[in-house]
Structure 1
């Protein structure tokens, strides 16, 4: 018989005295009340952070005695957990936001391509910086950017991510459709992109093709091969909407995932975004080729035709991470949406009341996301030798009491406003929602200054009217 006993917590008002300045040292000894380890939450543990990594993890007293010269910061009521990893983002779409609300699928044709194509270097930088800040505020320490369609290159996007302090897997789009004769030049640019960022502390190079139909078969093969050879992730969108599946069937007689397999573009280096409309055969292809999937639940709700069967994929051993697709950058709400979508789309009709369980979504939002982004050996877990990308979360709130199952509670009950601190590479980047070393308010003022102009000059085609006009139209 199960014994239901609340988790033992001894909260102390002294945690309210924690300050950002105390966490700015190059070397830190932290003793949170809870430490989220790969096997689950643990108490009585401490971590030593040095040179940007988790240098030591062990019992509190053991680390205290081993480092008498270091101040041990006791963090009652706090959880130290891995930072979230956004496995699929579009950093240069942040000026669009609500313009996509209520729109039918494939908004990339009518909103994102026109918007990104209209950005100049300043607006490209500010858009990416705003999105990076939003990501950190939502607990994401890493974002996997699928590439921008802006014509100015990726330097501004990389600079924005580095200035904010978020880790970024930066995709370079290598589409050659409509660019006949440019394959060699595109592949040379891909090589340069990898070389430029190969050793950067925060920016990790990636290659991308927007959708399989945006490239020739030879380009798909070469970009996937180059990615595998250079140890970087190859990103593409597949099987997201009925229209894209049907276009592929008409053009090639194959569904998008089948098409990628036919040209040898699936494999452990490949990260496919969405994969919502997949057949059992295509799931087998994902498993057999060790291709990774970004499950983007909020995107399915807001603009999709279907929900990826992430529970089945995980049960089959397919590698899955969670992505926002640039919808909203809130790690806790992303996990909640991931579980809710599985319950509604699959769990209810199967009688599956757990729909993967809380721990699955917590894992996919952290270690799973790191794995599919090609960074599984560097981030995603609290483990010795890994980069110290982590959150300090305030658990001393009414919503988290009484505590019976912390993993479930983090998925269903936790909120972004509980995040006290965000660390990337061992450095404190955000304190209670705001940067510690740059002026976010000034960024917001700059965005207000230019965003309206940038959007106004883009040839965006909205189908759904803005809220006020829509309400008026339906009330006539």
Structure 2
């Protein structure tokens, strides 16, 4: 059944694919064909019907293969990814001690290189689209935009519009908004980069800025991004600063709505869930981030039952879509389902849906991507399912969530173009980029005024065996 496939077979302008399985919005289908032409899915349907309709086009048989939508990372920080191992063992809210100092020390060249490496990681992991919540790096955001476009990754790219809070001046706000509007104009029609406006956390902006930015996004048909109710510290900080929880703060200034995507939402009250539902505000559910640096897990199965739109996101932890699916289910089971006897916990399909077409809806691209359907952008994966792990499957949908791996991805397409084949780009030198970033990464980390609280694994072992405190002593606290 296993047939060797070559990259050259997938680089024609028109492809009529005959996979063993196609993952449609309604679920898995067999005996189907997919026609890709001019960067889009031109037709999808029963194989016999498409073969008759497009008889002059030679079909490419893909036995043992699945054609599925490229998965969507609903929350990323592309310029943080190279420093992801700094997050291990750290207390929550590491943005203050790690990410802000790290990003602020980067120059444009390294921003471009590190973002392109992060884009490569995403494509290798099965993501064809990422939603980036904005960088704090100095310089032009164009360095991130060009990096993702060169890598061939679709990106909803946020530009941060923080004005510092209610003490900001009209002049400060006008300058930030002028920059945001230039960004929207520059990328409004870009093939792969879709503009978004972002505010890092609600209290980092004035109420006037929050209201204006969300209104601009609604008028332009793009999304507004912000981090909300992520950690206990962030909730309490908002209560102290504004007298409201972060989600309540957004609601008070009219900043919730279909144009808004809140990152995390791990600590939400019943009333806040109803608020998300009534305003049609979307959420990015980031289960790996909860495990690595969080206080709680977003109630995603409840959100799904309530009809709250949400995407799955990595939060720049690891860019592996199949492991994210597994984490999405597992986190719900551990946090909520086991204690109430819910052995289904989403039934597998829930997580595939929210990694694909539901994720596309959450990040504002539901009309363009997320499913294998006529006239949608041809962002898709060819996945080898003729493997020892899956050859006996009786429920391939659920097995994709629990058993599938990144190395089964044979090919990744974005906009109908083959971008990666067997994990590597077909038209640029990824290993040269890896060497460039590796040469600079440790110097960038050493240069940044990072305050890391947890020791490395080796030092942790030494301290535990010695019976001493795990956390290094800090001279400023002596």
TM range (shorter): over 0.9
Distance in 2, matches of 1:449 and 1:256, equals: 40
Gaps of 5+ in 1: 1-11
CA distance in structure 1 between the partners assigned to 2:23 and 2:264 by the alignment: 28
Question: 1:273 aligned to 2:280?
Answer: no
Partner of 1:39: 26
Cα offsets for 1:107-129 (capped at 9, x unmatched)? 10111001100000111001100
Q: Give the stretch that moved more between structures: 51-60 or 201-210.
A: 51-60
Query: Which residue does 1:446 correspond to in 2?
Result: 436
> What is the Cα deviation at residue 97 of structure 1?
1.4
The equivalent residue for 2:158 is 171
Contact 2:24 2:372 in 1 (8 A): yes
How many residue pairs are counted as aligned between the two chains?
A: 463
Partner of 2:11: 24
RMSD: 0.9
Q: Which residue of 2 aligns with 1:399?
A: 389
In structure 2, distance between residues paired with 1:416 and 1:93: 22
Q: Point out the more displaced range, 178-187 or 260-269.
A: 178-187
Match among 252, 271, 277 for residue 287 of structure 1: 277
1:149 equivalent to 2:139? Answer: no
Question: Secondary structure of 2:303's partner?
Answer: helix
Q: Which residue of 2 is the match for residue 3 of structure 1?
A: none
CA contact (8 A) 2:108 2:138 kept: no
Q: CA deviation at 1:66?
A: 2.2
Q: Is the 8 A contact 1:239 1:245 kept in 2?
A: yes
Distance in 1 between residues matched to 2:392 and 2:24, nearest whole Å: 21
| 3-state DSSP of counterpart to 2:82 | coil
Instruction: Report what 1:459 is aligned to.
Output: 449
Q: Paired residue for 1:8? A: none
Q: Does 1:88 align with 2:78?
A: no
Deviations 1:345-368 (A, max 9, x none): 000111111111100000001111
CA contact (8 A) 1:174 1:186 kept: yes
**Structure 1 residue 76, shift from structure 2 partner:** 0.2
- Are the counterparts in 1 of residues 286 and 312 from structure 2 also a CA contact under 8 Å? yes
**Aligned residue for 1:71?**
58
Cα-to-partner distance string for 1:100-149 (whole Å, 9 max, x where unaligned): 11100001011100110000011100110010000000000000000000
Aligned to 2:123: 136
Distance in 1 (CA, whole Å) between partners of 2:199 and 2:138 is 15
Equivalent residues in 2 for 1:57-456, closer than 5 Å: 57-177=44-164, 180=169, 181-456=171-446
**C-alpha offsets along residues 365-414 of structure 1, whole Å, 9 cap, x if unaligned?**
11111111100000000100000000000000011121111111100010
Deviation at 1:323, TM superposition (A): 0.3
Distance (Å, rounded) in 2 between the aligned partners of 1:43 and 1:317: 29
Distance 2:27 2:305 in 1: 19
Does the CA contact (< 8 Å) of 1:95 and 1:455 recur in 2? no
Contact 1:35 1:79 in 2 (8 A): yes
Deviation at 1:225, TM superposition (A): 0.7
Gaps of 5+ in 2: 467-478
Give the structure-1-normalised TM-score. 0.96
